[in-house]
Chain A
Amino acid sequence: MKLRAAAAAVALTLLVGAAAASRGAAARANDGTVRIPVHYSKFDPAELAVEPGETVRFVIVNTDPIDHEFILGDERVQLVHENGTEAHHPPRPGEISVSAGETVVTTYTFPDTPGELIFGCHLPGHYDFGMRGTVTIA
């Protein structure tokens, strides 16, 4: 009987663990830094969580043989870049180009109010391809 109870406990633990693992919690900054590799034209992680007013140092690692960019902002910012003509961005907080195979850093201070921002790449076809992610400020 004891064995059955123990087995049931193990099974329950494993089930809870699996549920947590499959839910994919949003990544958080570690010592103020978030590392975001870009592979096959996708950001990983694509879901981030920050605290209101938090300053985060983003390290963008482009492992692809093509150029990308990291544009952080609200929907209006994304729309401006999607329709924009600026091929290469000078480093601005939360906006940076990342050439093929390169690693770049940009630092951004999030607003004090809770909400959600988007980060994406707006080189031709990249945003539609799914090269985007979200930051939840809470």
Chain B
Amino acid sequence: MRNPFARALTLTILTAVMLTGAAGSALACGGLVTPNGTINLLKTTTLAAYHEGIEHYVTSFEFAGEGSEVGSIIPLPGVPTDVIKGGDWTLQRLIIETQPQPEALRTASFALDSAAGAEVLLEKKIDALDITVLKGGAVEVGNWAREHGYFLPPDAPEMLAFYAERSPIFLAARFNAERAANRGVQTGQGTPIHVVIPTTNPWVPLRILALGRKAAEVVQADVYLLTDRRPETLPQAERSKGFDPNQRGLIQEVSEPASTTLLADLRSDRGMKWLPENGMWLTYIRINETAANLKHDLAIDASGYGRPNPVAAGYPTASGAAPWPVVWTVMAALVAVAFLMVVTDPAVRRRAERVFRR
């Protein structure tokens, strides 16, 4: 953005876009389930920025309407030092930076740009949202959620265990219907939150997006990374075929130095002053994968060593590996027996000796 007027105009448009919801829906990167078991299938958008050992996780919760008891649970890689209201345009600005926009908006942009359970660690009210940060195992967190009126689908016990093994920290968020009504929150209106997490091991929860979904359902999400260096991720994202809606998997749509105009716009948003003015790398990964295949999270290594942590991605550790099935054990035994038969056969032994003598 070359001049202050242009930037102000961009932000005005962004605010309008945000209010009208034209730039795409922004939902939390967590499991969203209603009491009758229906799942909100809208797309989710998340920013995971990592700078100076701190992960800044920005996402938005969308109000599903009065009387609708919807809660979200997000696994976190560490204990957050703070949960604050997210910026008003950060997620929308990232969408505009990286995705094809409707003609009118694109023109405007070009013109401008050329329980004995879980331990409650933190409770916060952000607008109509009640935020609780919990520490506990899968059963403790599950019990807390159930006792506080969260509906947990049948895959929740295994999902919670998957996350609790790596990090026992969870963020639960829920709209307070009374405060939402008093504030005049409209159905579909988003409330962004910004979670500040000191960690040496940043990761973005992805598998939780499949919570409560049928195996064949497609999970869609936009994940933005802002890092000091070009990051390596695990799983590695596939190369984009140009925003092809039929391309499945984790698709890397953008990987480039973040423009100074983008960083300036983001820095001008609430709670984003920590962001450097330049020198950040922007990665946009589009998730378009069936629930059955979304089995891992996104581990990030922005250190330059290029070694994202498999454990952070949710891959099994050596110690946690499942014991060998009986069949494999027997196969190994058969191989051993066959080997013994061969080496104890005098004829075979003589042939082997002749081979070695040569």
List residues of A whose CB falls within 8 A of some B CB: 3-4, 7-8, 10-11, 14-15, 17-18, 21-22, 39-41, 63-67, 100-101, 121, 123-126, 128-129, 131
Interface residues on B, range: 35 or more
B318 adjacent to chain A (CB < 8 Å): no
Question: What 4 A-B pairs come out closest when comparing CB atoms?
Answer: A65-B142, A124-B37, A41-B154, A18-B330
Give Cα A63–Cα B157 distance, bound, in whole angstroms.
9
Closest A residue to B153 using CB positions: A125
B214 adjacent to chain A (CB < 8 Å): yes
- Interface segment among B44-52, B88-96, B278-286, B338-346: the answer is B338-346
B3 adjacent to chain A (CB < 8 Å): no
Minimum Cβ distance to chain A for residue B3 (Å)? 54
CB distance B146 to A7 under 8 Å?
no
Which of A3, A18, A22, A125 interacts with B154 by CB under 8 Å? A125
Which of B36, B146, B345 interacts with A65 by CB under 8 Å? B146
A3-B341, A17-B326, A100-B143 given; name 4 further pairs at CB < 8 Å: A7-B338, A41-B154, A128-B214, A129-B155
CB distance B340 to A22 under 8 Å?
no
B160 adjacent to chain A (CB < 8 Å): yes
Which of B146, B340, B341 interacts with A66 by CB under 8 Å? B146
Q: Which of A14, A64, A121 has the most CB of B within 10 A?
A: A64
Closest B residue to A64 using CB positions: B157
Contacts of B37 on A, CB cut-off 8 Å? Answer: 124-125
List residues of B whose CB falls within 8 A of some A CB: 36-37, 138-143, 145-146, 152-158, 160-161, 212, 214, 325-327, 329-331, 333-334, 337-338, 340-341, 344-345
CB distance A11 to B334 under 8 Å?
yes
CB distance B334 to A41 under 8 Å?
no
Which of A4, A11, A18, A129 interacts with B326 by CB under 8 Å? A18
CB distance B341 to A65 under 8 Å?
no
CB distance A65 to B344 under 8 Å?
no
CB distance B139 to A101 under 8 Å?
yes
23 contacts between A and B (CB under 8 A): A11-B334, A11-B337, A11-B338, A14-B334, A14-B337, A18-B327, A18-B331, A22-B327, A40-B157, A41-B154, A65-B139, A65-B141, A65-B157, A66-B142, A66-B152, A100-B143, A124-B36, A124-B37, A124-B153, A125-B153, A125-B212, A126-B154, A128-B214
CB distance B143 to A40 under 8 Å?
no
Minimum Cβ distance to chain A for residue B134 (Å)? 12
CB distance B161 to A40 under 8 Å?
yes
Q: Which of B139, B142, B145, B154 has the most CB of A within 10 A?
A: B154
CB distance A64 to B142 under 8 Å?
yes
CB distance B333 to A101 under 8 Å?
no
Q: If the complex has contacts A7-B337, A125-B212, are A66 and B157 also in contact, measured as CB distance less than 8 A?
A: yes
